[in-house]
A and B are shown apart, each in its own frame.
Chain A
Amino acid sequence: MNACVQTIADYGLRAIGIGKRLLPREDFTLCEQFTLIGSGMIWNVYFGVLALIAGFGFATLLALGKASNTKTVRKPSEWFIFLFRGSPLFIQFFFGYFLFLKLKTVFPIFAPFTAAWLGALVVLFFNTSAYTAEIFYGALRSIPKGDIEAADAYGLSGWSRFKHVIWPTMLRLAWPAYTNEAIFLFHATTLVFFSGFPAWQQRGDALYYASYFADKTFNPFIPYPILASYFILLTLCVIGLFSIVNRRLNRHLPANTRQRLRIRPNLIR
Protein backbone atom coordinates (compact mmCIF):
# COMPACT_ATOMS: atom_id res chain seq x y z
CA MET A 1 0.00 0.00 0.00
CA ASN A 2 2.77 2.42 0.99
CA ALA A 3 4.71 1.42 -2.08
CA CYS A 4 1.74 2.43 -4.16
CA VAL A 5 1.51 5.86 -2.51
CA GLN A 6 5.20 6.27 -3.28
CA THR A 7 4.59 5.27 -6.90
CA ILE A 8 1.79 7.80 -7.21
CA ALA A 9 4.08 10.48 -5.78
CA ASP A 10 6.82 9.48 -8.23
CA TYR A 11 4.82 9.06 -11.39
CA GLY A 12 1.48 10.80 -10.79
CA LEU A 13 2.56 13.87 -12.75
CA ARG A 14 5.20 12.14 -14.87
CA ALA A 15 3.40 13.06 -18.07
CA ILE A 16 4.06 16.75 -17.52
CA GLY A 17 7.62 16.20 -16.40
CA ILE A 18 7.26 16.28 -12.61
CA GLY A 19 8.55 13.36 -10.59
CA LYS A 20 11.00 10.59 -11.36
CA ARG A 21 12.85 10.93 -14.63
CA LEU A 22 13.20 7.25 -15.49
CA LEU A 23 10.19 5.17 -16.32
CA PRO A 24 9.98 1.82 -14.56
CA ARG A 25 11.96 -0.74 -16.53
CA GLU A 26 11.01 -4.11 -15.11
CA ASP A 27 8.74 -5.82 -12.60
CA PHE A 28 5.83 -3.62 -13.51
CA THR A 29 3.21 -3.51 -10.80
CA LEU A 30 -0.45 -2.88 -11.40
CA CYS A 31 -0.10 0.31 -9.40
CA GLU A 32 2.62 1.63 -11.69
CA GLN A 33 0.52 0.92 -14.76
CA PHE A 34 -2.53 2.60 -13.29
CA THR A 35 -0.53 5.65 -12.17
CA LEU A 36 1.40 6.21 -15.38
CA ILE A 37 -1.52 5.67 -17.72
CA GLY A 38 -3.57 7.92 -15.48
CA SER A 39 -0.94 10.65 -15.58
CA GLY A 40 -0.94 10.32 -19.36
CA MET A 41 -4.63 11.19 -19.26
CA ILE A 42 -3.59 14.74 -18.31
CA TRP A 43 -2.53 15.25 -21.90
CA ASN A 44 -5.71 13.75 -23.33
CA VAL A 45 -7.82 16.04 -21.16
CA TYR A 46 -5.62 19.04 -21.99
CA PHE A 47 -5.85 18.51 -25.76
CA GLY A 48 -9.54 17.69 -25.64
CA VAL A 49 -10.67 20.57 -23.42
CA LEU A 50 -8.63 23.32 -25.10
CA ALA A 51 -9.45 22.18 -28.65
CA LEU A 52 -13.12 21.92 -27.72
CA ILE A 53 -13.32 25.40 -26.19
CA ALA A 54 -11.36 27.09 -28.96
CA GLY A 55 -13.09 25.05 -31.64
CA PHE A 56 -16.53 26.02 -30.39
CA GLY A 57 -16.10 29.69 -31.27
CA PHE A 58 -14.41 29.06 -34.58
CA ALA A 59 -17.02 26.46 -35.54
CA THR A 60 -19.83 28.96 -34.98
CA LEU A 61 -18.11 31.38 -37.34
CA LEU A 62 -17.52 28.66 -39.92
CA ALA A 63 -21.12 27.46 -39.75
CA LEU A 64 -22.38 31.01 -40.22
CA GLY A 65 -19.92 31.38 -43.08
CA LYS A 66 -21.17 28.23 -44.77
CA ALA A 67 -24.77 29.35 -44.37
CA SER A 68 -24.03 32.84 -45.66
CA ASN A 69 -25.27 34.11 -49.01
CA THR A 70 -22.04 35.88 -49.86
CA LYS A 71 -19.94 33.68 -52.09
CA THR A 72 -16.58 35.00 -50.89
CA VAL A 73 -17.46 33.95 -47.34
CA ARG A 74 -19.25 30.71 -48.17
CA LYS A 75 -16.65 29.12 -50.43
CA PRO A 76 -13.67 29.33 -48.04
CA SER A 77 -15.76 27.93 -45.19
CA GLU A 78 -17.00 25.09 -47.36
CA TRP A 79 -13.47 24.27 -48.46
CA PHE A 80 -12.12 24.41 -44.93
CA ILE A 81 -14.80 22.02 -43.71
CA PHE A 82 -14.31 19.68 -46.66
CA LEU A 83 -10.53 19.68 -46.23
CA PHE A 84 -10.62 18.68 -42.59
CA ARG A 85 -13.60 16.33 -42.75
CA GLY A 86 -12.51 14.63 -45.94
CA SER A 87 -9.05 13.54 -44.89
CA PRO A 88 -7.91 11.31 -42.06
CA LEU A 89 -6.89 13.06 -38.86
CA PHE A 90 -3.85 10.82 -38.74
CA ILE A 91 -2.55 12.21 -42.03
CA GLN A 92 -3.41 15.74 -40.89
CA PHE A 93 -1.20 15.25 -37.84
CA PHE A 94 1.68 14.04 -39.97
CA PHE A 95 1.27 16.81 -42.48
CA GLY A 96 0.94 19.44 -39.76
CA TYR A 97 4.07 18.23 -38.02
CA PHE A 98 6.23 18.29 -41.13
CA LEU A 99 4.72 21.59 -42.22
CA PHE A 100 5.69 23.15 -38.90
CA LEU A 101 9.18 21.62 -39.18
CA LYS A 102 9.57 23.27 -42.55
CA LEU A 103 8.22 26.59 -41.36
CA LYS A 104 10.59 26.49 -38.43
CA THR A 105 13.60 26.62 -40.71
CA VAL A 106 12.25 29.77 -42.36
CA PHE A 107 10.56 31.52 -39.45
CA PRO A 108 12.03 30.57 -36.06
CA ILE A 109 8.80 31.74 -34.43
CA PHE A 110 7.23 28.40 -35.39
CA ALA A 111 9.60 26.45 -33.13
CA PRO A 112 7.03 25.72 -30.39
CA PHE A 113 4.60 24.43 -33.01
CA THR A 114 6.81 21.39 -33.65
CA ALA A 115 6.18 20.28 -30.08
CA ALA A 116 3.04 18.30 -29.39
CA TRP A 117 1.57 20.67 -26.82
CA LEU A 118 1.02 23.40 -29.38
CA GLY A 119 1.32 21.82 -32.83
CA ALA A 120 -1.04 18.93 -32.19
CA LEU A 121 -3.40 21.28 -30.40
CA VAL A 122 -3.60 23.48 -33.50
CA VAL A 123 -4.34 20.49 -35.73
CA LEU A 124 -6.98 19.18 -33.32
CA PHE A 125 -8.47 22.65 -33.08
CA PHE A 126 -8.89 22.94 -36.85
CA ASN A 127 -10.19 19.41 -37.10
CA THR A 128 -12.83 19.72 -34.40
CA SER A 129 -13.83 23.14 -35.73
CA ALA A 130 -14.58 21.61 -39.11
CA TYR A 131 -16.61 18.74 -37.70
CA THR A 132 -18.48 20.97 -35.25
CA ALA A 133 -19.12 23.55 -37.96
CA GLU A 134 -20.84 20.91 -40.06
CA ILE A 135 -23.06 19.98 -37.10
CA PHE A 136 -23.87 23.63 -36.40
CA TYR A 137 -24.54 24.25 -40.08
CA GLY A 138 -27.05 21.41 -40.12
CA ALA A 139 -28.70 22.86 -37.03
CA LEU A 140 -28.79 26.36 -38.54
CA ARG A 141 -30.65 25.02 -41.53
CA SER A 142 -33.22 23.24 -39.39
CA ILE A 143 -34.15 26.20 -37.20
CA PRO A 144 -37.94 26.39 -37.41
CA LYS A 145 -39.06 29.12 -39.80
CA GLY A 146 -41.62 30.29 -37.23
CA ASP A 147 -38.90 31.17 -34.71
CA ILE A 148 -37.23 33.55 -37.10
CA GLU A 149 -40.55 35.04 -38.21
CA ALA A 150 -41.44 35.59 -34.56
CA ALA A 151 -38.12 37.36 -34.04
CA ASP A 152 -38.83 39.55 -37.05
CA ALA A 153 -42.27 40.33 -35.69
CA TYR A 154 -40.71 41.50 -32.43
CA GLY A 155 -38.53 43.86 -34.43
CA LEU A 156 -35.33 42.01 -33.69
CA SER A 157 -32.73 42.07 -36.40
CA GLY A 158 -29.05 41.60 -37.03
CA TRP A 159 -26.97 40.94 -33.96
CA SER A 160 -29.77 40.91 -31.41
CA ARG A 161 -31.79 38.47 -33.49
CA PHE A 162 -28.77 36.21 -33.76
CA LYS A 163 -27.94 36.42 -30.08
CA HIS A 164 -31.43 35.92 -28.70
CA VAL A 165 -33.06 33.62 -31.22
CA ILE A 166 -30.84 32.00 -33.80
CA TRP A 167 -27.82 31.10 -31.71
CA PRO A 168 -29.63 29.50 -28.75
CA THR A 169 -31.89 27.53 -31.08
CA MET A 170 -28.94 26.39 -33.13
CA LEU A 171 -27.15 25.19 -29.99
CA ARG A 172 -30.24 23.44 -28.71
CA LEU A 173 -30.73 21.56 -31.96
CA ALA A 174 -27.05 20.73 -32.37
CA TRP A 175 -26.36 19.73 -28.79
CA PRO A 176 -26.87 15.94 -28.96
CA ALA A 177 -24.65 15.68 -32.03
CA TYR A 178 -22.15 18.04 -30.46
CA THR A 179 -21.90 15.81 -27.40
CA ASN A 180 -20.93 12.91 -29.62
CA GLU A 181 -18.38 15.12 -31.33
CA ALA A 182 -16.85 15.98 -27.96
CA ILE A 183 -16.56 12.35 -26.92
CA PHE A 184 -15.12 11.57 -30.30
CA LEU A 185 -12.55 14.35 -29.96
CA PHE A 186 -11.32 12.98 -26.65
CA HIS A 187 -10.85 9.60 -28.28
CA ALA A 188 -9.00 11.24 -31.16
CA THR A 189 -6.47 12.82 -28.81
CA THR A 190 -4.88 9.39 -28.38
CA LEU A 191 -3.52 9.64 -31.92
CA VAL A 192 -1.23 12.58 -31.14
CA PHE A 193 1.88 10.77 -30.02
CA PHE A 194 1.63 8.13 -32.73
CA SER A 195 1.77 10.60 -35.57
CA GLY A 196 5.13 12.26 -35.85
CA PHE A 197 4.91 14.53 -32.84
CA PRO A 198 7.67 13.27 -30.58
CA ALA A 199 7.04 12.57 -26.92
CA TRP A 200 9.77 14.72 -25.41
CA GLN A 201 11.47 13.06 -22.41
CA GLN A 202 8.83 10.33 -22.62
CA ARG A 203 6.09 12.69 -21.60
CA GLY A 204 3.26 11.07 -23.48
CA ASP A 205 -0.45 10.60 -23.28
CA ALA A 206 -2.34 7.64 -21.87
CA LEU A 207 -2.10 5.49 -24.98
CA TYR A 208 1.62 6.22 -25.23
CA TYR A 209 2.19 4.75 -21.78
CA ALA A 210 -0.26 1.90 -22.36
CA SER A 211 1.60 0.81 -25.47
CA TYR A 212 4.89 1.29 -23.62
CA PHE A 213 3.74 -1.25 -21.05
CA ALA A 214 2.33 -3.56 -23.70
CA ASP A 215 5.65 -3.47 -25.54
CA LYS A 216 7.69 -4.14 -22.43
CA THR A 217 5.55 -6.88 -20.93
CA PHE A 218 4.21 -8.48 -24.14
CA ASN A 219 0.92 -8.55 -22.29
CA PRO A 220 -1.75 -6.35 -23.84
CA PHE A 221 -4.45 -7.66 -21.53
CA ILE A 222 -3.56 -5.35 -18.62
CA PRO A 223 -2.61 -1.87 -19.91
CA TYR A 224 -5.29 -1.59 -22.60
CA PRO A 225 -8.23 -2.46 -20.35
CA ILE A 226 -6.85 0.10 -17.86
CA LEU A 227 -6.76 2.67 -20.64
CA ALA A 228 -10.27 1.70 -21.72
CA SER A 229 -11.60 2.12 -18.19
CA TYR A 230 -10.02 5.58 -17.91
CA PHE A 231 -11.63 6.56 -21.17
CA ILE A 232 -15.01 5.23 -20.15
CA LEU A 233 -14.75 7.38 -16.99
CA LEU A 234 -13.77 10.40 -19.07
CA THR A 235 -16.65 9.77 -21.46
CA LEU A 236 -19.07 9.57 -18.54
CA CYS A 237 -17.76 12.92 -17.24
CA VAL A 238 -18.22 14.51 -20.67
CA ILE A 239 -21.74 13.12 -20.94
CA GLY A 240 -22.53 14.42 -17.45
CA LEU A 241 -21.30 17.95 -18.17
CA PHE A 242 -22.98 18.12 -21.55
CA SER A 243 -26.30 16.89 -20.25
CA ILE A 244 -26.31 19.70 -17.64
CA VAL A 245 -25.93 22.20 -20.49
CA ASN A 246 -28.52 20.29 -22.48
CA ARG A 247 -31.01 20.60 -19.66
CA ARG A 248 -30.40 24.33 -19.48
CA LEU A 249 -30.79 24.76 -23.24
CA ASN A 250 -34.08 22.89 -23.19
CA ARG A 251 -35.47 24.38 -19.99
CA HIS A 252 -38.26 26.34 -21.71
CA LEU A 253 -39.72 23.32 -23.45
CA PRO A 254 -42.41 21.04 -22.02
CA ALA A 255 -40.82 17.94 -20.55
CA ASN A 256 -42.17 15.47 -23.09
CA THR A 257 -40.87 17.28 -26.18
CA ARG A 258 -37.32 17.74 -24.91
CA GLN A 259 -34.51 16.25 -26.87
CA ARG A 260 -32.77 13.50 -25.02
CA LEU A 261 -29.04 13.05 -25.39
CA ARG A 262 -28.46 9.94 -27.44
CA ILE A 263 -24.94 8.71 -27.21
CA ARG A 264 -23.66 7.17 -30.39
CA PRO A 265 -20.00 6.41 -29.91
CA ASN A 266 -18.20 6.74 -33.16
CA LEU A 267 -14.99 5.11 -34.17
CA ILE A 268 -12.32 7.14 -35.76
CA ARG A 269 -11.89 10.16 -37.91
Chain B
Amino acid sequence: MSIYWSVLTVLLLLGITAPTALAFGFAGASATRSRIAPVSWLGRGYIAVVRGVPDIAFFLFFVIALDQVIEATRHHVLCPDWVEPIRQGSDFVVCQAAKMPQGNAPQWVHESYGFAIAVFTFAIVFGAFAANVIQGAMAAVPRGQIETGESYGMTSRQTFWRILVPQMWVYALPGLSNLWMVLIKATPLLFLLGIQDIVYWARELGGIKTSRFTDYPHGDWRMWYFLALLVFYLIFTRVSEITLERLMTRLTRGQATTTGEAQRKAGTT
Protein backbone atom coordinates (compact mmCIF):
# COMPACT_ATOMS: atom_id res chain seq x y z
CA MET B 1 0.00 0.00 0.00
CA SER B 2 2.72 2.43 1.01
CA ILE B 3 4.30 2.39 -2.42
CA TYR B 4 1.16 3.99 -3.84
CA TRP B 5 1.33 6.66 -1.16
CA SER B 6 4.95 7.26 -2.02
CA VAL B 7 4.03 7.89 -5.64
CA LEU B 8 1.66 10.53 -4.31
CA THR B 9 4.52 11.90 -2.21
CA VAL B 10 6.59 12.37 -5.33
CA LEU B 11 3.73 14.04 -7.17
CA LEU B 12 3.02 16.22 -4.13
CA LEU B 13 6.66 17.24 -4.00
CA LEU B 14 6.55 18.22 -7.67
CA GLY B 15 3.25 20.01 -7.18
CA ILE B 16 4.50 22.08 -4.25
CA THR B 17 8.09 22.61 -5.37
CA ALA B 18 7.37 23.80 -8.89
CA PRO B 19 5.30 26.88 -7.92
CA THR B 20 7.51 27.61 -4.90
CA ALA B 21 10.66 27.43 -6.99
CA LEU B 22 8.99 29.60 -9.62
CA ALA B 23 8.15 32.15 -6.93
CA PHE B 24 11.74 32.05 -5.64
CA GLY B 25 12.98 32.41 -9.18
CA PHE B 26 10.67 35.30 -9.92
CA ALA B 27 11.67 37.05 -6.72
CA GLY B 28 15.36 36.45 -7.44
CA ALA B 29 15.10 37.69 -11.00
CA SER B 30 13.09 40.77 -10.03
CA ALA B 31 15.64 41.47 -7.30
CA THR B 32 18.50 41.51 -9.79
CA ARG B 33 16.65 44.12 -11.82
CA SER B 34 16.10 46.32 -8.79
CA ARG B 35 17.51 49.83 -8.83
CA ILE B 36 18.48 49.58 -5.16
CA ALA B 37 22.00 48.17 -5.23
CA PRO B 38 21.91 45.88 -2.14
CA VAL B 39 18.69 44.21 -3.32
CA SER B 40 20.22 43.65 -6.73
CA TRP B 41 23.37 42.20 -5.15
CA LEU B 42 21.25 39.91 -3.02
CA GLY B 43 19.51 38.54 -6.10
CA ARG B 44 22.75 38.10 -8.02
CA GLY B 45 24.47 36.53 -5.02
CA TYR B 46 21.68 34.02 -4.51
CA ILE B 47 21.80 32.89 -8.14
CA ALA B 48 25.59 32.70 -8.26
CA VAL B 49 26.08 30.84 -4.99
CA VAL B 50 23.44 28.17 -5.45
CA ARG B 51 24.31 27.50 -9.09
CA GLY B 52 28.01 27.29 -8.33
CA VAL B 53 27.83 24.54 -5.73
CA PRO B 54 27.81 20.99 -7.13
CA ASP B 55 24.56 19.09 -7.16
CA ILE B 56 23.70 16.47 -4.57
CA ALA B 57 26.29 17.67 -2.09
CA PHE B 58 24.02 20.67 -1.78
CA PHE B 59 21.04 18.49 -1.01
CA LEU B 60 22.86 16.41 1.56
CA PHE B 61 24.42 19.48 3.13
CA PHE B 62 21.42 21.72 3.14
CA VAL B 63 19.02 19.40 4.92
CA ILE B 64 21.25 18.90 7.95
CA ALA B 65 22.40 22.50 7.89
CA LEU B 66 18.86 23.87 7.78
CA ASP B 67 17.79 21.55 10.57
CA GLN B 68 20.69 22.64 12.75
CA VAL B 69 20.21 26.32 12.01
CA ILE B 70 16.54 26.11 13.01
CA GLU B 71 17.33 24.21 16.19
CA ALA B 72 20.18 26.52 17.13
CA THR B 73 18.01 29.59 16.59
CA ARG B 74 15.22 28.15 18.70
CA HIS B 75 17.79 27.19 21.28
CA HIS B 76 18.99 30.77 21.60
CA VAL B 77 15.49 32.14 21.77
CA LEU B 78 13.83 29.57 24.01
CA CYS B 79 16.60 28.73 26.45
CA PRO B 80 18.66 31.88 26.96
CA ASP B 81 20.05 30.71 30.32
CA TRP B 82 21.69 27.59 28.84
CA VAL B 83 25.42 27.94 29.32
CA GLU B 84 26.97 24.89 27.68
CA PRO B 85 28.07 25.23 24.08
CA ILE B 86 25.90 23.67 21.38
CA ARG B 87 28.74 21.76 19.73
CA GLN B 88 30.35 19.37 22.21
CA GLY B 89 32.94 17.44 20.27
CA SER B 90 30.97 15.43 17.78
CA ASP B 91 27.61 16.05 19.40
CA PHE B 92 25.03 18.65 18.59
CA VAL B 93 23.26 19.47 21.82
CA VAL B 94 20.30 21.80 22.20
CA CYS B 95 17.88 22.07 25.08
CA GLN B 96 14.72 19.95 25.10
CA ALA B 97 12.36 22.79 24.25
CA ALA B 98 14.38 23.69 21.16
CA LYS B 99 14.09 20.27 19.54
CA MET B 100 12.37 20.48 16.20
CA PRO B 101 9.94 18.79 15.94
CA GLN B 102 9.24 18.11 19.61
CA GLY B 103 10.38 14.72 20.81
CA ASN B 104 6.87 13.75 21.89
CA ALA B 105 5.20 14.85 18.65
CA PRO B 106 3.26 12.20 16.74
CA GLN B 107 4.87 10.35 13.88
CA TRP B 108 3.16 12.28 11.09
CA VAL B 109 4.58 15.57 12.37
CA HIS B 110 8.10 14.15 12.10
CA GLU B 111 7.41 12.93 8.61
CA SER B 112 5.85 16.14 7.36
CA TYR B 113 8.62 18.19 8.95
CA GLY B 114 11.18 16.18 7.02
CA PHE B 115 9.11 16.56 3.90
CA ALA B 116 8.80 20.32 4.39
CA ILE B 117 12.55 20.69 4.74
CA ALA B 118 13.04 18.63 1.58
CA VAL B 119 10.57 20.80 -0.32
CA PHE B 120 12.28 23.93 0.92
CA THR B 121 15.68 22.63 -0.19
CA PHE B 122 14.38 21.73 -3.62
CA ALA B 123 12.69 25.12 -3.90
CA ILE B 124 15.85 27.02 -3.01
CA VAL B 125 18.03 25.10 -5.44
CA PHE B 126 15.58 25.11 -8.32
CA GLY B 127 14.59 28.67 -7.52
CA ALA B 128 18.12 29.79 -8.32
CA PHE B 129 18.01 28.05 -11.69
CA ALA B 130 14.56 29.43 -12.41
CA ALA B 131 15.78 32.90 -11.44
CA ASN B 132 18.53 32.59 -13.99
CA VAL B 133 16.09 31.56 -16.71
CA ILE B 134 13.60 34.31 -15.86
CA GLN B 135 16.35 36.90 -15.69
CA GLY B 136 17.39 35.94 -19.22
CA ALA B 137 13.78 36.03 -20.38
CA MET B 138 13.23 39.51 -18.94
CA ALA B 139 16.30 40.71 -20.79
CA ALA B 140 15.01 39.11 -23.99
CA VAL B 141 11.78 41.10 -24.14
CA PRO B 142 12.38 43.63 -26.93
CA ARG B 143 13.40 47.01 -25.60
CA GLY B 144 10.92 48.71 -27.90
CA GLN B 145 8.00 47.12 -26.09
CA ILE B 146 9.00 48.72 -22.80
CA GLU B 147 9.73 52.05 -24.48
CA THR B 148 6.25 51.99 -25.96
CA GLY B 149 4.85 51.49 -22.49
CA GLU B 150 6.92 54.38 -21.18
CA SER B 151 5.79 56.62 -24.01
CA TYR B 152 2.21 55.94 -22.96
CA GLY B 153 3.13 57.47 -19.64
CA MET B 154 3.26 54.27 -17.58
CA THR B 155 5.35 54.23 -14.44
CA SER B 156 8.17 51.72 -14.18
CA ARG B 157 6.03 49.56 -11.92
CA GLN B 158 3.26 49.55 -14.52
CA THR B 159 5.57 48.69 -17.41
CA PHE B 160 7.02 45.87 -15.33
CA TRP B 161 3.68 44.26 -14.50
CA ARG B 162 1.71 45.06 -17.63
CA ILE B 163 4.31 44.72 -20.37
CA LEU B 164 7.43 42.93 -19.20
CA VAL B 165 5.87 40.13 -17.13
CA PRO B 166 3.17 38.99 -19.59
CA GLN B 167 5.64 38.94 -22.47
CA MET B 168 8.59 37.30 -20.79
CA TRP B 169 6.88 33.91 -20.30
CA VAL B 170 7.27 32.92 -23.90
CA TYR B 171 11.02 33.48 -23.65
CA ALA B 172 11.22 31.78 -20.28
CA LEU B 173 9.23 28.71 -21.22
CA PRO B 174 11.94 26.68 -23.01
CA GLY B 175 14.27 27.16 -20.07
CA LEU B 176 11.56 26.50 -17.52
CA SER B 177 10.39 23.34 -19.26
CA ASN B 178 13.98 22.13 -19.28
CA LEU B 179 14.07 22.82 -15.56
CA TRP B 180 10.82 20.91 -15.04
CA MET B 181 12.39 17.88 -16.70
CA VAL B 182 15.39 18.19 -14.42
CA LEU B 183 13.08 18.55 -11.44
CA ILE B 184 11.22 15.36 -12.35
CA LYS B 185 14.50 13.55 -12.59
CA ALA B 186 15.69 14.96 -9.28
CA THR B 187 12.77 13.55 -7.30
CA PRO B 188 14.41 10.17 -6.58
CA LEU B 189 16.92 12.10 -4.50
CA LEU B 190 14.21 12.41 -1.87
CA PHE B 191 15.42 8.98 -0.90
CA LEU B 192 18.77 10.44 0.07
CA LEU B 193 17.05 12.99 2.25
CA GLY B 194 15.58 10.20 4.33
CA ILE B 195 12.03 10.35 3.00
CA GLN B 196 10.31 7.03 2.40
CA ASP B 197 9.67 7.61 -1.28
CA ILE B 198 9.29 5.24 -4.21
CA VAL B 199 12.95 4.32 -4.31
CA TYR B 200 12.79 3.30 -0.67
CA TRP B 201 9.68 1.18 -1.18
CA ALA B 202 11.00 -0.39 -4.36
CA ARG B 203 14.02 -1.57 -2.41
CA GLU B 204 11.97 -2.76 0.52
CA LEU B 205 9.19 -4.53 -1.31
CA GLY B 206 11.39 -6.02 -3.98
CA GLY B 207 13.87 -7.56 -1.58
CA ILE B 208 13.61 -11.10 -0.30
CA LYS B 209 13.26 -10.01 3.28
CA THR B 210 12.91 -6.64 4.90
CA SER B 211 13.54 -5.01 8.19
CA ARG B 212 9.91 -5.21 9.11
CA PHE B 213 8.50 -8.42 7.67
CA THR B 214 10.39 -11.65 7.74
CA ASP B 215 9.94 -13.06 4.27
CA TYR B 216 8.17 -12.28 1.08
CA PRO B 217 6.77 -15.16 -0.90
CA HIS B 218 8.84 -14.10 -3.90
CA GLY B 219 12.48 -13.95 -4.79
CA ASP B 220 14.54 -10.88 -5.49
CA TRP B 221 12.20 -8.67 -7.45
CA ARG B 222 14.02 -5.41 -6.95
CA MET B 223 15.13 -5.41 -10.56
CA TRP B 224 11.52 -5.47 -11.75
CA TYR B 225 10.47 -2.79 -9.30
CA PHE B 226 13.20 -0.53 -10.55
CA LEU B 227 12.31 -1.33 -14.14
CA ALA B 228 8.78 -0.20 -13.30
CA LEU B 229 10.16 3.02 -11.82
CA LEU B 230 12.25 3.58 -14.93
CA VAL B 231 9.19 3.19 -17.13
CA PHE B 232 7.17 5.43 -14.81
CA TYR B 233 9.71 8.23 -15.15
CA LEU B 234 10.00 7.73 -18.91
CA ILE B 235 6.25 8.05 -19.36
CA PHE B 236 6.17 11.02 -17.04
CA THR B 237 8.84 12.92 -18.97
CA ARG B 238 7.25 12.04 -22.30
CA VAL B 239 3.84 13.32 -21.20
CA SER B 240 5.37 16.52 -19.83
CA GLU B 241 7.26 17.02 -23.09
CA ILE B 242 4.07 16.82 -25.12
CA THR B 243 2.13 19.05 -22.73
CA LEU B 244 4.84 21.71 -22.70
CA GLU B 245 5.00 21.62 -26.48
CA ARG B 246 1.27 22.40 -26.62
CA LEU B 247 1.65 25.15 -24.04
CA MET B 248 4.44 26.69 -26.08
CA THR B 249 2.27 26.79 -29.21
CA ARG B 250 -0.48 28.39 -27.18
CA LEU B 251 1.80 31.02 -25.67
CA THR B 252 3.53 32.06 -28.89
CA ARG B 253 0.22 33.02 -30.45
CA GLY B 254 0.37 36.70 -31.30
CA GLN B 255 3.90 37.20 -29.99
CA ALA B 256 6.63 39.12 -31.78
CA THR B 257 8.82 36.05 -32.30
CA THR B 258 9.68 33.95 -35.36
CA THR B 259 7.33 31.15 -34.35
CA GLY B 260 4.58 33.60 -33.55
CA GLU B 261 5.08 35.19 -36.95
CA ALA B 262 5.00 31.79 -38.65
CA GLN B 263 1.75 30.97 -36.85
CA ARG B 264 0.23 34.26 -37.95
CA LYS B 265 1.16 33.60 -41.57
CA ALA B 266 -0.13 30.04 -41.43
CA GLY B 267 -3.37 31.39 -39.99
CA THR B 268 -3.96 34.04 -42.65
CA THR B 269 -3.10 32.10 -45.78
C-alpha gap A258/B182 in the complex (Å): 30
Decide if A269 touches B54 in the complex (CB within 8 Å).
no
Instruction: Give the docked Cα–Cα distance between A190 and B238 (Å).
Output: 27
CB-CB < 8 A to B226: which residues of A?
91, 94-95, 98
User: Is A228 a contact partner of B57 (Cβ separation < 8 A)?
Assistant: yes
Size of A's binding interface in residues, CB under 8 A = 43
Q: Is A92 an interface residue when CB atoms closer than 8 A count as contact?
A: yes
Interface pair A88/B188, CB less than 8 Å apart: yes
Please tell me the number of chain B residues within 8 Å of chain A, measured between CB atoms.
Answer: 43
A268 touches B182 (CB 8 A): yes
Contacts A99-B223, A101-B223, A220-B65 given; indicate if A267 touches B237 (C-beta within 8 A): no
B87 contacts across to A, CB distance below 8 A: 219
Asked if residues A88 and B234 are in contact (CB atoms below 8 Å), the reply is no
Interface centre among A83, A90, A214, A216 (most CB of B within 10 A): A90
Contact partners of B233 in chain A: CB under 8 A = 86-88, 91
B90 lies within 8 A of A88 (CB): no
Q: Is the interface of A mostly helix, strand, loop or mixed?
A: helix
Cα–Cα, bound, A190→B126 (Å): 19
B92 x A98 contact (CB < 8 A): no
Instruction: Verify B52–A267 contact, CB threshold 8 A.
Output: no
Task: Chain B residues near A88: list those with CB within 8 A.
Answer: 184-188, 233
- A80 nearest CB across to chain B (Å): 12
How far apart are the CA atoms of A216 and B54 in the complex, in Å? Answer: 22
**Is the C-beta of A72 less than 8 angstroms from some C-beta in chain B?**
no
In the assembly, what is the distance between CA of A157 and CA of B90, in Å?
Answer: 68
Q: How far is the CA of A266 from the CA of B183 in the complex (A)?
A: 12
Q: Could you tell me the distance between the alpha carbons of A210 and B56 in the complex, rounded to whole angstroms?
A: 12
Interface membership of A172, Cβ < 8 A? no
Query: Which residues of chain A are within 8 angstroms of B92 by Cβ–Cβ distance?
Result: 218-219
Pair B57/A210 contact, Cβ less than 8 Å: yes
Q: Does B51 contact A (CB under 8 A)?
A: yes
